[in-house]
Amino acid sequence: GIISIEDGKTYLNQMELLIWTYKNKGHRNNQMVLQVAHPADMLLQDPPCLRLIDTRIQDGRLNFIIYFRSWDLWGGFPANLAAMQMMKEYIASEVGVEDGEIIAASKGLHIYRYVWELAECIRGKTIEEFRRGG
C-alpha cells in the first residue's frame, strides 16, 4: 500500500504514490519527486549520497532527473545507474508509458585511491601524465 503504520510510525511508499498519481491524476504532474533527503541529514556524519529522483512524463516517456551529493565513480556510478534504470522501467510499465532518459548530476563525483591503478589502466595514462596533459 501507499501508507503503512509499523510500531506506531507512519510510512509513505513514495514509489507506489508516484505510480498511483501518474495513473490517476495524469501525466502532467510536476510534483512527483522521490525524496531521499531529510533536513536532519545535515547532522549526520555520512548522509545518504542519493538526494532525490525527480520524475517527468514528457511525450509519453518517463524521464528521471537524479541528484547525488557525492558519487563514487568506480564503486557506485555503474550499479546506481543500472538500478535507477531498472526502477524507471518498472515505473514506466506500471504507469503505461515508454521508458525515457536519465539525467544525472553530482556535486561530488569522485574516485577513491584504492582504484587509481585500475582507472589508470582503463584510461591508459597515469594521473601524472593526465595532469601534465600527456
Strand extents, DSSP E, 17-121: 33-35, 50-58, 61-68, 71-72, 98-106, 109-110
Please answer whether residues 49 and 68 qualify as being in contact, where contact means their C-beta atoms are separated by less than 8 angstroms. yes
Antiparallel, parallel or unpaired: β 61-68 and 98-106: parallel
Query: Three cell numbers at 86?
Result: 531498472
Catalytic one of 15, 17, 36, 49: 49
Catalytic annotation present for 121: no
- Give catalytic residues, as residue numbers: 49
